[in-house]
Structure 1
Amino acid sequence: MNVSSRPERLDNSYHFHVMRRAIDLIDSAETPLSLEDLAREMNMSPTHFQRVFSRWVGVSPKKYQQYLTLGHAKALLRERFTTLDAAHSVGLSGGGRLHDLFLRWEAMSPGDYARQGRGLTIYWGWFESPFGPALVMGTDKGICGIGFASETGEEAAMEDLLSRWPQARFIEDPMRLRDWVLRAFGAASDRLDPVPLYLIGSPLQIKVWEALLRIPSGHVSTYSEIAQAIGQPRAVRAVGTAVGRNPISWLIPCHRALRKSGGLGGYHWGLPVKRALLAYEAARSEG
């Protein structure tokens, strides 16, 4: 199957590649880098670099650098930890949406899931997202998969998502998905109708993904808290596995799940992407 079709580009797509390089620089620096230092390393003028940063995330490079530090996860747990029971009590759950109120979802039945996608037609396409190349898959009912390829590579991302539903019929058709994708990544903010999701997973996975959908943007929770929320407090390891198997990255926010210690934990598409996702949301929620 062709994995190299030209991806559709969103207005701010290339900015993620600047951010990805900035993450590496920030991590390798012994002290915080000035705007001038970062701009010079990016081969940009300070003015242009500031403009790129601000357009992508809405805050200055100096403030954004704070969100990209390795200690940011612990700060999020201190200041923006979400108790999922509380989120549920204020109406942040159910098919109506959850944290940002722009999604609706339904889940495949356990019997259909057991058939590994047999009889299901899944459309796919490559898009340039704010977080690098994104492989998006969807059925007639909604988006069922989003994978990021900036760390794994496009071929590995394609093989990964194809293996989730091995009996399904796959058709390349990015135009069928385009409207959903533009809304999902904020490039069609004038549209008020929700982005539909189609959750394809085991009963336990669906419960875990429902819990993830109750974590508000800019906030985080822990694997143990998610296990508690689904009524299986001792199943932290199984919950962690289900979080890692979430096929709809970004929209089902598995990046908002952290270790109780404040560690980032794993991320299926690469930890640099997870850090960028968290920093992007935190900056936008405060900016």
Structure 2
Amino acid sequence: MNTSQQRHYDTVEKAIVFIREHINRQPSLGEIAEHVHLSEYHLQRMFTEWAGISPKRFMQSMTKERALEVLKSSSNLIDVADGVGLSGTGRLHDLIVSCEAMTPGEVKSLGSQLIISFGEAHTPFGLAVIGWTERGVCFLQFVDSNVIETASILKDQWAMATFKQADAQGIANSIFSGSGDKVHLLVKGTNFQIKVWEALMKSHTGELFSYAQVAECIGSPKASRAVGSAVASNTIGFLIPCHRVIRGDGDVGQFRWGSDRKVAIQGWEAAQVG
């Protein structure tokens, strides 16, 4: 992962917020640069270094019209019955992500037999807290207030587990570098939630899906609202790509870690696949 991506995210996020607020009139590079207190040259350079595309192209990727086009082209690409596993291995730019569910006993005991390592790490989308066991990553949340408060969410989830603070940067680098490394997840959820998450892990970088499309592809066409609840319950950000689920009208919709970060991840992914 490029360290400048970490350093520049706060500025880029401010630019994205400004673009979203004025998307209908397509603000100029000069207006965006003035808002974030940079020259046009430095904003263009910083933004392109972070996202891989210019602010103008990123702005184009944020329109509802483009979102609707991507929704249409993605509608048949999740297939939970394709027999390939949770993630295909031939996808350029995609992580190879697999997962297993916590056992009912582990859930009931609040993880009393689990040893969970955790730590903070820089990512292209700001600071994050990552938790993992010998069996895989079990937690990835972006920090919106402070590290201690975010880490407490993990500890509340597994009140009886043994926690060990550790260096999480290597894991973050592996996740966000685009190196194609395999990442295994250890997930906790209901059968329905896990079904939704598994379906999303089958999707490709740059795709977008409506809640209704996800409900349809898991065989529960009337469960759009339940899909939304499953998406909101996800505590393993990015790796379970709930950021790829938007409203059917093309609006970005809500996101556990803020809609601006959701747009940032979508645009960043779109740039990865050209």
Query: TM-score normalised to the size of structure 2?
Result: 0.87
- Note closer, same or farther for the CA distance 1:40–1:262 as it changes in structure 2 (3 Å cut): closer
Matched, 1:195 2:156: no
Among 118, 121, 142, the alignment partner of 2:136 is 142
CA distance in 2 between counterparts of 1:32 and 1:168 reads 50
Contact 2:118 2:130 in 1 (8 A): yes
- Flag structure 1 segments of 5+ consecutive residues without an equivalent: 1-8
CA distance in 2 between counterparts of 1:243 and 1:71 reads 23
1:40: how far off? 2.7
1:96: how far off? 5.8
Q: Share of identical aligned residues, percent?
A: 34
Aligned residues: 271
Matched, 1:227 2:221: no
Aligned to 2:253, the other structure's residue is in SS state coil
Contact 1:81 1:219 in 2 (8 A): no
Matched, 1:160 2:153: yes
CA distance in 1 between counterparts of 2:100 and 2:89 reads 12
**Aligned residue number for residue 184 of structure 1:** 175
- Note closer, same or farther for the CA distance 1:11–1:28 as it changes in structure 2 (3 Å cut): closer
Matched, 1:65 2:59: yes
CA distance in 2 between counterparts of 1:254 and 1:40 reads 33
- Note closer, same or farther for the CA distance 1:27–1:236 as it changes in structure 2 (3 Å cut): closer
- Flag structure 2 segments of 5+ consecutive residues without an equivalent: none
- Note closer, same or farther for the CA distance 1:146–1:97 as it changes in structure 2 (3 Å cut): farther
CA distance in 1 between counterparts of 2:153 and 2:223 reads 25
Aligned to 1:261, the other structure's residue is in SS state coil
Among 37, 44, 49, the alignment partner of 2:31 is 37
Among 204, 225, 240, the alignment partner of 1:237 is 225
Aligned to 1:84, the other structure's residue is in SS state coil
Contact 1:215 1:221 in 2 (8 A): no
Query: TM-score normalised to the size of structure 1?
Result: 0.83
CA distance in 2 between counterparts of 1:98 and 1:110 reads 33
1:43-82 to 2 correspondence within 5 Å? 43-69=37-63, 72-82=66-76
Runs of 4+ in 1 over 6 A off after TM superposition: none
Matched, 1:256 2:271: no
Aligned to 2:9, the other structure's residue is in SS state helix
CA RMSD, aligned part only?
Answer: 2.6
Q: Report the AA paired with residue 174 of structure 2.
A: R
- Note closer, same or farther for the CA distance 1:28–1:158 as it changes in structure 2 (3 Å cut): same
Contact 2:4 2:50 in 1 (8 A): no
**Aligned residue number for residue 5 of structure 1:** none
Q: Report the AA paired with residue 235 of structure 1.
A: A
**Aligned residue number for residue 84 of structure 1:** 78
